[in-house]
Amino acid sequence: MTDTPDPSTRSGDADRSGQKHTAEPADEANRACVDTEGTDPRPLVLVTVGTDHHPFTRLVNWADAYAADHPDVRVLVQHGASAAPVSAEGEAFLDGARLHAAMATAAAVVTHGGPATVTEARRLGHLPITVARDPELGEHVDDHQIRFVARLDASERVLSCASHQQFTAALDKALDHPGEFRLDAEAEDGADAVAREAGRLIDLLAPQPVADRPIPPPAPLPFGERWPDVTVVIPTRDRPELLRRTLRSIAAQEYQGTITSLVVYDNDRPDHSVAHDTGDRPVRVMGNTLSPGLAGARNTGILAATSELVAFCDDDDTWLPAKLRAQVEVMRAEPETEMVCCGIHVAYDRTEVRRVLKRTSVTFADLLRSRLTELHPSTFLIRRSALVDGCGPVSEEIPGSYGEDYELLLRMARRAPIRNIPEAEVRVLWHRQSYFTGRWQTISTALRWLLDSYPEFRLIPRGHARVAGQIAFAEAAAGRRRAALEWSITTIRARPTEARAYLALAVTCGLPAGLVTRTLHRRGRGI
């Protein structure tokens, strides 16, 4: 058996054998008229491409080929700006009433990836067979339909088709097993809910021009007003000298409000000698009362805090003197802002690299595309209410607490853009004693948890490839060659230019993983 050529590559007036079609001499308007009276006994397949001004020739040709191969099926194509079909019936546009009537009587409905059309088909009891417009083929201005349809397909709200073969198989199945493509319209969660979800996804994931507002200038404190209290949560384990250096940097802040440092010992006996309760820089000491690990230690401090503003600082990092005041200035000027970050200096093996994100607003979509390592947890300043009463505290479900800071950024950015001060105000120490150094199995497991928890990554090839590439490298470093190869292939399929896939392959071939990570760390970067 030979493969059937994709009809999207053929001309509009020739069939797959190269023979010319000849339109019936009947009046064109009558030929294309919607049969609302049911006089045509054949099952009706309705194909609608919407009203966008871009042609959708690919879908029209697929429908036309199906009509030519299935004379016992009536295929009606609303073809919009595309050329009219030859074998199928065709109308450029159908008004709302006629489209509704056609959908109501159709045995199967094929739609483009427009939210309104998908919603209407589902409201009338159809599981839509959906083909998203592809901007690379000139079918749309951007790729929001591809992302929207992928999300709905994953939740079984549509049956997505990306090839002629899938399209044909889907129509055959819809006609042979109609019950599988019918919905209980009364049990549907409503057109409004579907439309709202569509709008939310498009707004969330499509590249959008976010107003990069300037950071508000310092403003004098009104008479009689105090600077807000800030609690700094510092998880620690077996690093007494580094911890004391961290505490000294916090005490040296050029900030006139009270800063309380909560040192949370994780799997370690609390050292009460560092605690004191005097002045405006008190230090309190406690043990981790929640799940062992970084996430549980951070949450212990968050729950114990009594101030509205909570900051994070790791026990091997230090703050520059102007860090906290600059962030609090933003919180004071913008009551709607829930989180402020800043840039970092990365220190590793006697080298120091400045990492500063020039943008002052960061969205959820930005963070799906890139980890933005400039947004380090030791730079976080957050409104406590946004954690306790909003998106929830640090996730304790992540295996080994690896990447808990990134996952929290994703949740916070879902609520509102994160503000960033484009100045390096924190010194971050990377060293061979870092907790996750060499814990490749934990890293791989945590990153796979992240992909499962955030299916939106599948709609962002760059972001999905980045995380998959990290998993591939971790598997390679752990000596799991087969898993490393599988994840490398997944990475390359998502984004062929993703360097992590090739680094993982190099490690599987014998390149030491430690050499790769040390080289990257000297440049202020990681896998």
DSSP 293-309: SHHHHHHHHHHH--SSE
Rounded to whole angstroms, the Cα distance separating 154 from 122 reads: 16
- Nearest of 279, 294, 287, 329 to residue 309 by alpha carbon: 329
pLDDT of residue 2: 40
Rounded to whole angstroms, the Cα distance separating 57 from 20 reads: 18
pLDDT of residue 436: 54
Q: Is 510 left (phi over 0), alpha (psi -120 to 50) or beta?
A: left
Tokens of 394: 């640090």
Q: Domain 233-429 class?
A: alpha beta
Q: Say if CB 94 and CB 80 are below 8 A apart.
A: no
Rounded to whole angstroms, the Cα distance separating 70 from 64 reads: 10
Q: Which fold has domain 7-205?
A: Rossmann fold (3.40.50)
Rounded to 10 degrees, the C-alpha dihedral 210/215/220/223 comes to 30
The pTM (predicted TM-score) of the whole model is 0.63
pLDDT of residue 118: 86
Residues with Cβ within 8 Å of residue 34, at least 6 apart in sequence: 76, 91, 94, 98, 101, 102
Cβ-defined contacts of 206-209 (< 8 Å, 24+) = 206/142, 206/144, 206/147, 206/365, 207/142, 207/365, 208/363, 208/365
- Nearest of 391, 389, 394, 404 to residue 435 by alpha carbon: 404
- Nearest of 393, 394, 381 to residue 338 by alpha carbon: 381
- Nearest of 53, 50, 68 to residue 121 by alpha carbon: 50
pLDDT of residue 186: 55
Tokens of 458: 């599948």
* Domain 7-205 shares a fold with domain 233-429: no
Rounded to 5 degrees, φ, ψ at 103 are -65, -40
Q: What is the pLDDT along the chain (527 residues), one digit of tens a residue?
A: 444 445 554 433 333 333 333 333 333 433 444 554 557 899 999 999 988 788 999 999 999 999 999 999 999 999 998 999 999 999 998 888 889 899 999 999 999 988 778 888 988 999 999 999 988 888 987 677 887 888 788 878 899 998 999 999 999 999 999 999 998 765 544 444 544 455 455 445 544 444 578 888 888 888 888 999 999 999 999 889 999 999 999 999 999 999 999 999 998 899 999 999 889 999 999 999 999 989 999 999 999 999 999 999 999 999 999 999 999 999 999 999 999 999 999 998 778 899 999 999 999 989 999 999 999 999 999 999 999 998 899 999 998 888 999 999 999 998 899 999 999 999 998 865 554 566 899 999 999 999 988 888 877 888 999 999 999 999 999 999 999 999 999 999 988 999 999 999 999 999 988 888 878 777 767 77
Domain ranges of the chain: 7-205, 233-429, 440-522
Rounded to whole angstroms, the Cα distance separating 406 from 387 reads: 15
Helix, strand, coil share of the chain (percent; to 5): 45, 15, 40
pLDDT of residue 334: 94
Q: Say if CB 249 and CB 258 are below 8 A apart.
A: no
